[in-house]
Amino acid sequence: MDITFNTNPKLNILIPVFYLAWQDDTLSKNEFNALNAFIKNQDWFTKAEKDFLKSKIDYASPPTRSELFHWKEKIDKALDSGKNSTNLTELGILMANAERPALNEDDIKKIGVSFAEMESDLGIMSREVISGLRKQRDTITDKYKTVESFDVKKLTAFLDGTQSAVINKVKALISSPEFALDIPPDTMEYREKVLEWSKILAQHGLGSYAYPKEHGGKGDIEGYFSIMETLSYHDLSLVIKFGVQFGLWGMSILSLGTEKHYKKYLRDIASLKLPGGFAMTETHHGSNVKGARTTAIYNHKNRTFTINTPEKYDRKEYIGNTANHGEMVTVFAKLVIDDKDYGVNAFVVPIRDSDKSTLQGVTIEDCGHKMGLNGVDNGILTFKNVVIPYENMLDRFARVNENGEFESPIPSDNRRFFTMLGTLVGGRIGIPRSALAAAKTGLTTAIKYGDKRRQFGPEGGQEVPILNYRMHQLRLMPYLANAYAIHFGLQYLTKRFVNRTEDEMQEIEALAAGMKSYSTWNTRDTLQECREACGGKGYLSENRIDDLKNDTEIYTTFEGDNTVLMQLTAKNRLGEFRKQFGEMNVSTIFSYVVDKAKTSIAEKNPIATRNTDDSHLKDKTFHLQAFHYREKEILGSAARRFKRLIDDGLEAFDAANVMHPHMIQIADSYLDRVFLEQFQAQLELVTDEGLKEVLERLYNLFALNKLEQHKAWYLEQGYMEGIKTKAIRKMVSQLCWEIRQDAVPLVDAFNIPESCLGAIVTNKAAEA
């Protein structure tokens, strides 16, 4: 009688290993040797049985497709039999004994050892293989899904706070048919569309929110920032056009001008009857605006100023709202009286008639096509003997008196210039808030897509939503936590700015400069990750990430280049440090030393540096101490290093250059600490249990992810040991896993109008 698996059931014991070996259609030499040796050494097989089994590992005649299929059916049957098999030996025995007991206890004992050896020779991880073979596996990854553990509406209300009325007003407007996001491919048509949209916003009174009530506004600066942020769910060219017209142009009048200017211009700016721009940057002077070379020469005889562009590249460049629409601009130019230079001041200069023809002496060029923001008409302005009347000087901080003499309550040109710039800090609040909204849109897109989009899955099971994959979570959840942290941080910055006192101004400017950089860099990185997280769909324009990415790219440069702004923030921190320790006397030195010693004892002892308890890793005091420690150490070491460089005879400018990377770290560690503190402060305000729990989780992720990012530094400092940084890494991954369940409701809480979301989110796509 022929030998087959049916006639000699005990041979079935080898079906799982045969199946695994031939699964990829080839048998490696190693696999052959292991199987051949096993068969040869089994004295409970007859010679005929051994020959039969050897015929199944013959390179020359591999099993047919239908034979492989048949083996798999038998395996599935055994796995589904309800009898437990945790390794290949048990599975084989189960199959051998499936119809009737073919192997007795003695056989089984003998087989166990040699089978285990064969598995090891084949490099098989038995348990893993068994779970891989199990059909319809009930895996954790597969089952995981979105839950809504909190009330989304409550979270939206918490995020919007006192601003919900204006936010909802803007959302309603941008959701209306006239704001449908049909961007014309032609640049000129696009610019006209953006102008038209801006006019509608003006008609609804949104342009004048920040202006004083007596000049037709609402006197509500906070409202203005909320409008900027909410509009940023829509087209970003619109936001920038809006920001240039009502923010930069209007606010330059309000901040640098006086009552006569408010009366003359503000209402027309608010209605967009008078479109204008803000002309500070010159081709040769961007970050270094104090070096601007445009001149405003005072002529006492007829009380006028003559505006000139001395050399070609002293022209104003990139000026928003000027290539097509602007009729006036605020020009930053050096005031010259009787050949004496009084530093950079601001002047209102008409550039076009209301019929749009360019005025005499003014040359306007178009900056042309850009990487993004093509709905904004950026222009290049050159002035040749353009005469403007005396009252066009914005004279809040400086003026020319009746005798033709320069007058200013701030004698130093330098200080006056920076005071002027300081009043314009609002732009550095509007831009990071706009950037945050773009990041929220990107996250909403990628997270909602990831929740639906399925790829791969367990053998025989259904495919799994990509958001269930740990790596996918690790790519997106930290950015989700950042978005919440930055949201709370920018709310804090806005409130500080709105309620500022004179003596807080420098600190607020430094904070705004830093937060502008932090938020816009975060948006750049978030959108890149979101694009990739959506695969090919992320690349399609209909899903908007391309526009968001291209448009926010320049956010890291305009309103001040981020790297330069971080220097400004760091300088302020160093200044504060020096104020505190520069005037060191015995008692301050003593308390500083005691303070440092206390840190060492409390935070850098062997128990603390190795503490991996969950409760410790999630302890807010631990986070705050660790963030403070990094901030203080970097600041203190920078101050000492700077002093050493100067003591060694380096010029201050050279020393500052050597210190630049260190300065960026000062700003970064300071900002991390402020964002952390503000997140903590917000948690204190949450009363709803569901909200508190989910926000605590996000908070922990924000805090621990930052520690993880800076772990090299903490290890260098001996503030943590490897065992602790490893535990942090593990917890970051675990938090991402936990947050994934709430990720969709967490982006739903941003409440972004559906009309502003891409097709992959709104199900308009044929197939997600």
Ligand X SMILES: Cc1cc2nc3c(=O)[nH]c(=O)nc-3n(C[C@H](O)[C@H](O)[C@H](O)COP(=O)(O)OP(=O)(O)OC[C@H]3O[C@@H](n4cnc5c(N)ncnc54)[C@H](O)[C@@H]3O)c2cc1C
- Binding-site ranges for ligand X (CB under 6 A): 244, 277-281, 286-287, 318-320, 370, 373, 378, 554, 557-558, 560-561, 563-564
CB nearer to ligand X: give 525 or 613. Answer: 525
CB nearer to ligand X: give 279 or 545. Answer: 279
- The least distance separating ligand X from the CB of residue 283, rounded to whole angstroms, comes to 8
**DSSP structure string for 193-245:** HHHHHHHHHHHTT-TTTTS-GGGTS---HHHHHHHHHHHTTS-HHHHHHHIII
- The least distance separating ligand X from the CB of residue 560, rounded to whole angstroms, comes to 6
- The least distance separating ligand X from the CB of residue 538, rounded to whole angstroms, comes to 24
CB 174 within 8 A of CB 231: yes
Distant-in-sequence, close-in-space partners of 492: CB < 8 Å, separation ≥ 6: 674, 678, 681
CB nearer to ligand X: give 421 or 436. Answer: 421
CB nearer to ligand X: give 194 or 707. Answer: 194
CB 663 within 8 A of CB 572: no
SS3 718: coil
- The least distance separating ligand X from the CB of residue 573, rounded to whole angstroms, comes to 17
- Single-letter code of the amino acid located at 317: E
Label the pairing between strands 362-366 and 379-383. antiparallel
CB 457 within 8 A of CB 464: yes
CB nearer to ligand X: give 13 or 548. Answer: 548
CB nearer to ligand X: give 300 or 571. Answer: 571
**Residue whose CB is nearest to ligand X in the complex, by number:** 286
- The least distance separating ligand X from the CB of residue 280, rounded to whole angstroms, comes to 3
CB 627 within 8 A of CB 672: yes
- The least distance separating ligand X from the CB of residue 450, rounded to whole angstroms, comes to 32
- Single-letter code of the amino acid located at 656: A
What distance lies between CA 496 and its chain's CA centroid?
Answer: 23
- The least distance separating ligand X from the CB of residue 344, rounded to whole angstroms, comes to 12
Question: What is the distance between the alpha carbons of residues 366 and 379, in angstroms, rounded to a whole number?
Answer: 5
Tokens of 451: 């929740």
CB nearer to ligand X: give 570 or 743. Answer: 570
Cα-flanking dihedrals φ and ψ of residue 348, to 5°? -90, 120
CB nearer to ligand X: give 118 or 554. Answer: 554
Residue 401's Cβ-count burial label (10 Å; 0-12, 13-18, 19+) is exposed
- The least distance separating ligand X from the CB of residue 551, rounded to whole angstroms, comes to 9
CB nearer to ligand X: give 494 or 567. Answer: 567
| Number of C-beta neighbours around residue 647 at 10 A | 9
Question: What is the distance between the alpha carbons of residues 157 and 687, in angstroms, rounded to a whole number?
Answer: 13
Tokens of 195: 């102008």
- The least distance separating ligand X from the CB of residue 532, rounded to whole angstroms, comes to 25
Helices (H), 648-754: 652-685, 689-709, 711-717, 722-748
